[in-house]
Amino acid sequence: MTCILIGSSVFLLGFNYKNLSEPNAYYQVYLDDEVIGVIKSRKALERYIDEEGSQIKRKYNVDNVYAPDGLEIKKITTYDKKVDSVKTIYNKIKEERPFTIKGYQVTVRQTVASAEEENKTEEKINRYYVLNEEIFREAAEETIKIFVGEEQYETYKNDLQIPIDTTGSIITDIYIDGDKTIKEMKIPVTEEIYTSATDLTHDLVFGKDSSTKKYIVQMGDTIDKIAFNNRISVGEFLISNPEFTSENSLLYPNQEVVIGITNPQLSVVKIVYSVEDHESNYGQEIIQDDDMMLGEEFVETKGEKGLDRVSQNMKYVNGEINYIEPKGKEILKAPINEVIRRGTHYIPSVGSLTSWYWPTNSGWTITSYYAWRINPINGQRELHDAVDIAGTGYGSPIYAANNGTVEVASYNYMNGNYVIINHNNGYYTYYGHMSKILVQKDQGVARGSKIGLVGDTGWATGPHVHFGIWYGFPYRNGSRSQNPLNFY
């Protein structure tokens, strides 16, 4: 009986000891919701991560390094005394995730035309990581200066522009298009984190994967010639070589210049109100004279150009004209038509090789020249194989540049409503983005006759006519685009 009592006492004593002991307050560590260990102190792990990040601190010149995204530390109560060392947990984290530093994420959202579907848009999102907000603000301002011009920007910013008296221009607005958000966050050190505005400015202008090359100026080179032969625009040349102030700057043989291809990551918009005097081309009047032999003609009245005072709102995006809104036109001097007396009433289908008619009314502005450029619609680099003529207003007439036969009167998704005229002398002319076509296939047209109306169908940022001259049928093997301005 005595033994039984002693055994019971031992059992009771053991039971009471178990229940009276204190549980341990530890911390369970999770990475992406998966348990990777248990530690005694949250602060000890955080301190170890910070201390081991000395190399990261030196690289980014920061005071602290933090745990990666997806790491959670939860307090637990347990009788289990088994714990992991902070070094063990640190090494597990290091193998799976990058550590972080405090900084800012800048997100820029822009709506752009879809490169795959007609009449569709898509959202373009660019994200940048910076140590502080001032780095992005400074880089954005430097990018604006590059595309607007530092002097113009400072004059606008400080309200020092000279008001327009009779003619001239003033900047009415400058801004970066798109929605921009800046938020503070802990940034993984595997991301590209900008520590200087200079590096970020370069990538905002040229893109992260940009490349440049050197070019040695040859005898007879001009900035325009060098740019064209290297498939860049004059504007891109000037951006890569800021020591030159304009395309007319002088070059000398053996001079070294930079060929840089821009890939703008921001849309810098400049709105300009402009009042300029434009020469207006004179028309031609043909007097048919049956008393004169076929093929004979002479100028009865010499033509004289007119002069118009044209006011416009002009929208530039990254230095290129994107849209023109006509605001008014005052005729200062009316043109005097050239009168030609010709010895036949018959209009030949063969166009002249020396006399070409301007395809729009007066008051026009060329918004895009025959040159290499970045397409404002799809952002692709291309040779713009025509000139874009704007400023005469939506629905204004488009004229045949020469006698000929309508080869095509149709529509495509890029150039919208368009007409191709065969001048039966080897040359063809191309007229795109019409709001309305006024001719049909196989119709004979005379020089200066109305063939359509200015519009913005297809890929267009505003009303204009895409006017091209080709030797051979456009875009067929063996055909060659020409610079239309060489014909006038």
Helix axes 133-148, 197-206, angle to 10 degrees: 50
For residue 35, pLDDT beyond 50: yes
The 8 Å CB, 24+ separation contacts for 144-148 are 144/174, 144/176, 144/268, 146/201, 146/205, 146/239, 147/205, 147/239, 147/264, 147/268, 147/270, 147/316, 147/318, 147/319, 148/174, 148/268, 148/270, 148/316, 148/319
Instruction: Tell which wins on pLDDT, 10 or 334.
Output: 334
Strand partners, 4: none
How many whole angstroms separate alpha carbon 153 and alpha carbon 158? 8
Element of type H or E holding 12: helix 2-20
Alpha helices, DSSP H, located in 158-312:
197-206, 223-229, 234-240
Tell me what pLDDT residue 286 has.
Answer: 85
Q: What's the pLDDT at 304?
A: 94
Nearest one of 240, 314, 272 to 152, comparing CA atoms: 272
CA-nearest of 131, 255, 115 to 185 is: 131
Task: Give dist(CA 256, CA 249) in Å, integer.
Answer: 14
Confidence of residue 18 (pLDDT cuts 50, 70, 90): very low
Domain assignments of the chain as residue spans, ordered by start: 12-97, 104-206, 212-260, 267-487
Of 167, 207, 195, the closest CA to residue 310 belongs to 167
pLDDT, tens only, 315-330:
999 999 999 999 999 9
289 band by pLDDT with thresholds 50, 70 and 90: confident
Architecture per CATH, 267-487: Distorted Sandwich (2.70)
Q: How many CB atoms lie within 10 A of CB 154?
A: 12
pLDDT of residue 374 exceeding 60: yes
Q: Look at 117 and 36; give whichever has higher pLDDT.
A: 36
pLDDT of 124 reads 85
C-alpha–C-alpha distance, residues 24 and 78, integer Å: 5
Tell whether the model's pLDDT for residue 16 goes beyond 90: no
Round to whole Å and give the CA distance between 262 and 109: 20
- Structural contact between residues 267 and 320, judged by C-beta atoms closer than 8 angstroms: no
Residue 193 DSSP code:
E
Average pLDDT over residues 396-414: 96
Q: Are strands 338-342 and 284-288 parallel, antiparallel or unpaired?
A: parallel
Averaged pLDDT score across all residues of the chain: 90
Q: State mean pLDDT over 238-254.
A: 93
Residue-wise pLDDT for 122-143, tens only, equals: 888 889 999 999 999 999 999 9
Tens of pLDDT, residue by residue over 253-272, are 999 999 999 999 999 999 99
Q: What is the mean pLDDT of residues 331-358?
A: 85
The pLDDT of residue 121: 80
**Amino acid making up residue 35:** V
Distances (CA, A) of 382 to 128, 232, 233, 328: 28, 9, 10, 33
Mean pLDDT over 2-11 rounds to 36
pLDDT class of 294 with cuts at 50, 70, 90: low
pLDDT confidence of 7, banded at 50, 70, 90?
very low
pLDDT at 372 over 50: yes
pLDDT-derived band at 344 (thresholds 50, 70, 90) equals low
pLDDT at 487 over 50: yes
Q: What are phi and psi of 260, to 5 degrees?
A: -120, 135
Residue-wise pLDDT for 65-115, tens only, equals 999 999 999 999 998 889 999 999 999 999 999 999 999 999 988 887 766
Q: At what angle do helices 86-96 and 42-52 cross, to 10 degrees?
A: 60
96 three-state secondary structure: helix
Q: Could you tell me if 237 and 223 are in contact, meaning their C-beta atoms sit under 8 angstroms apart?
A: yes
Quote the pLDDT of residue 107: 94
Comparing 408 with 9, the larger pLDDT belongs to 408
Identify the residue whose tokens are 């010709």.
Answer: 342
- Which pLDDT value is given to residue 231? 92
CA geometry: angle 350, 356, 359, nearest 5 deg: 110
| pLDDT above 80 for 471 | yes
Domain 212-260 fold: Membrane-bound Lytic Murein Transglycosylase D; Chain A (3.10.350)
Angle between helices 150-157 and 133-148 (to 10 degrees): 110
